[in-house]
Amino acid sequence: MKVTETHLKGCFIIEPTIFGDQRGNFFEVFNQIIFEAKTGLSLHFVQDNQSISQRGVLRGLHLQKGEYAQAKLVRVIQGKVLDVVVDVRVNSPTYGQHFSIELSGENNKQLFVPRGFLHGFATLEDATIFSYKCDNYYNKESESGVIYNDKDLNVDWQLNEDEVLLSEKDEKLPLFSNLNDLF
């Protein structure tokens, strides 16, 4: 397993070692001991989530705040997404900066998203299966977020504006400048 820290401290790209032969391939999706040794982080995942989306679906930018904050390990099983994180840790030198990466069923890369980050993804292919582990349970009252097309963040979602499909909830998310200090 190859682990590379992004320019956002605590946010890691994880690439599995894939073993292949004439039958197909095999790789270890997650190993707690290796993860801890390569990241220096000790956490315990308690919830796994999965979504299936068509091209153009954009989910985000979301986070959970307070005692229900979540770190996530995200991946794509089938299809392709542009995965985006934004550092909202107030005392971080990279506060307000974002990182994006293409995750797909072909490249098998994963992204570790620490607590204190907004997270979202744009689906780039139909029938994309997105999966993620969380280190804390979901709590509706702890939800927060920022509108995906915030001009201050200036994220290139790799979709035309007329392709973007949002939930009603995500259409109403505030601007980054209106985000109260969360972390």
Catalytic positions: 62, 132
Distances (CA, A) of 34 to 1, 22, 38, 123: 8, 28, 6, 29
Which residues make beta-bridge pairs with 14? 3, 110
Burial of 87 (0-12, 13-18, 19+ CB in 10 A): buried
- Dihedral pair phi/psi, residue 64, rounded to 5°: -115, 140
Q: Where are the alpha helices (DSSP H) in the chain?
A: 32-39, 168-171
